[in-house]
Structure 1
Amino acid sequence: MTLLFHASDLHFGAEDSAALAWFKQVVADQQPEIVIITGDLTMRARSAEFAAAQAWLADLGRPVLIEPGNHDLPYFNPVRRIWRPYGRVMRLQEQLHEGVTLDHVHLVSLRTTARVQWRFNWSKGRVGKRALHQALQALGNPGHHAKLRIVLAHHPLIEAETQSSGRTTGGRAALEAIAAAGADAVLSGHVHDPFDLNVETQAGAIRLIGAGTLSERVRATRPSFNRLTVADGKLDAQVCAMD
């Protein structure tokens, strides 16, 4: 059995210290193979927020895989946002993810954030052609066909009937494409409430799993994360909410 923890939207700068301590203790007790964070490590992408996130993630003592969120792009520095929007997130990723290989799971990144968009609200999702192409290439790797293939995104690719929305431009088309390429599930965050959906596509059903938040910015659900187990090619997801 492979055990993965899926958390999202830590929002250092508006973090919930009690929720973070609770999650850290569960990690110590259960020792997942990897911790997946689907974006929004920080609140305003400040250096101090990234430093706090890095210290806390490193202290988990487990490999961490990070998918950037919209809050992780430079907020106050337009030059950095245009020319190096993912610099800090990528440096953090290199330090925390030590090339871990999971025997039964293949994890693929699908970036849904954008430095600029042709709409007013840049916090919403967008799947660009390049991001989708890279994800499809990774999914098509013949060495991973025997594994359960899970795509990691920050924004839900389609709406999940939660209080908040992703409104991901190109999300439905991306979902159809990755399903056709063999993806079994998509993990995401952004909306701060967990969900678990089976969605029909032209290539068959694909599972969409969203994580809640470990920040003070809760919606309908208490601070929570998803406990994922993979056994015999099947994925089981359990929402773990803090008392």
Structure 2
Amino acid sequence: MARILHLTDLHFGFHRSALEAPLLARIAALRPDLVVVGGDITHRATPGQMRSARAFLDRIEAPMMLMPGNHDVPTWNPVARIFWPFAGFQRHFGPDLTPAARVGDVRVMALNSADPYVWQRGKIRDGEIGRVIGTIDPMGTNIVALHHPLQHLPRVDKVLARRATEALYRLEGAGVHVVLTGHLHRWAVDALLATGRHPRVLQVQTGTALCARVSDMRNEFVLLDIRGTELSLERHVAPMDREGFDAPEISRYSRASGVWRRV
């Protein structure tokens, strides 16, 4: 069994500060084995925002792995953005931009999809797909985490990250079972599975954990409880008009047949 919590799009500097304590309390109560922080940890990548985010993350007792999002590269300093875009992130959140972790028979591998030369659109770098494929555990459950989604639903008006489609096909073929993403501030799991395009990969697009943008309507995170070929998702939602989290919405999935099905 592995309990992996996906926390993404915190946007420190433009976040719901009143939700920090309830979020920390809910995470502590869930006692995850690993917390995956999926990028956009800050809103404008300023030193002050990074320090605030680091102080928040330091209050989480579980092991963590972090990767940058497009908001985690310098916004107002074009020289830094071009020549050392991830220096601030590495100073505050650790030197490894593509960390990996193992919980029991579950392997979690990160991709850095943030492109400092483009404001929103991400990219999958040369060699990154092959690097991940080379570390897949053929006997366990394999999870890839990155900031930008690898598939968009029709209602999404943003452009896919460069090489996203290639990455998804190759990762699925190599034995990746779950992909965790953020960026869109929208929850999507069943709708992606229903497209039928990638039935062997459960794509979990998680909404924003703390961003204060009113149009998002809610903050949220998800806990994955993985037991062999069975997986449950606990979606924890905090509506914008309340300062706490509702009871979790639980959905269960199985890949025992070779493809993912909701059960």
Bigger mean CA deviation after superposition, 39-48 or 58-67: 58-67
Contact 2:141–2:228 (8 Å) recurs in 1: no
Other structure's SS at 2:200 match: strand
Change (3 A) 1:234 1:84: farther
Change (3 A) 1:184 1:229: same
In structure 2, C-alpha distance between the alignment counterparts of 1:207 and 1:115, rounded to whole Å: 28
Query: Out of 194, 203, 208, which is 2:203 matched to?
Result: 208
In structure 2, C-alpha distance between the alignment counterparts of 1:128 and 1:99, rounded to whole Å: 17
- 2:124 aligned with 1:127: yes
In structure 2, C-alpha distance between the alignment counterparts of 1:218 and 1:112, rounded to whole Å: 26
Q: TM-score, normalised by structure 2?
A: 0.80
Amino acid across the alignment from 2:73: L
Contact 2:100–2:109 (8 Å) recurs in 1: no
Contact 2:224–2:233 (8 Å) recurs in 1: yes
Change (3 A) 1:212 1:104: same
Q: TM-score, normalised by structure 1?
A: 0.86
- 2:49 aligned with 1:49: yes
Q: How does 1:20-35 map to 2 (within 5 A)?
A: 20-35=20-35
In structure 1, C-alpha distance between the alignment counterparts of 2:167 and 2:115, rounded to whole Å: 15
Contact 1:195–1:209 (8 Å) recurs in 2: yes
In structure 2, C-alpha distance between the alignment counterparts of 1:169 and 1:84, rounded to whole Å: 21
Change (3 A) 1:81 1:95: closer
Other structure's SS at 2:218 match: coil
Partner in structure 1 of residue 5 of structure 2: 5
Partner in structure 1 of residue 36 of structure 2: 36
Other structure's SS at 1:193 match: coil
In structure 1, C-alpha distance between the alignment counterparts of 2:156 and 2:214, rounded to whole Å: 10
Change (3 A) 1:145 1:190: same
Q: How does 1:177-196 map to 2 (within 5 A)?
A: 177-196=170-189
In structure 1, C-alpha distance between the alignment counterparts of 2:215 and 2:124, rounded to whole Å: 25
In structure 2, C-alpha distance between the alignment counterparts of 1:219 and 1:166, rounded to whole Å: 20
Runs (4+) of structure 1 exceeding 6 A deviation are none
- The unaligned stretches of length 5 or more in structure 1 are none
- 2:134 aligned with 1:137: yes
In structure 2, C-alpha distance between the alignment counterparts of 1:138 and 1:164, rounded to whole Å: 33
In structure 1, C-alpha distance between the alignment counterparts of 2:15 and 2:153, rounded to whole Å: 24
Partner in structure 1 of residue 151 of structure 2: 158
Change (3 A) 1:220 1:77: closer
Q: Highest relative contact order (Cα 8 Å, sep 6+), 1 or 2? A: 1
Amino acid across the alignment from 1:212: G
Root mean square deviation of aligned Cα = 2.5
Change (3 A) 1:6 1:162: farther
Q: How does 1:76-95 map to 2 (within 5 A)?
A: 76-94=76-94
- The unaligned stretches of length 5 or more in structure 2 are 239-245, 247-263
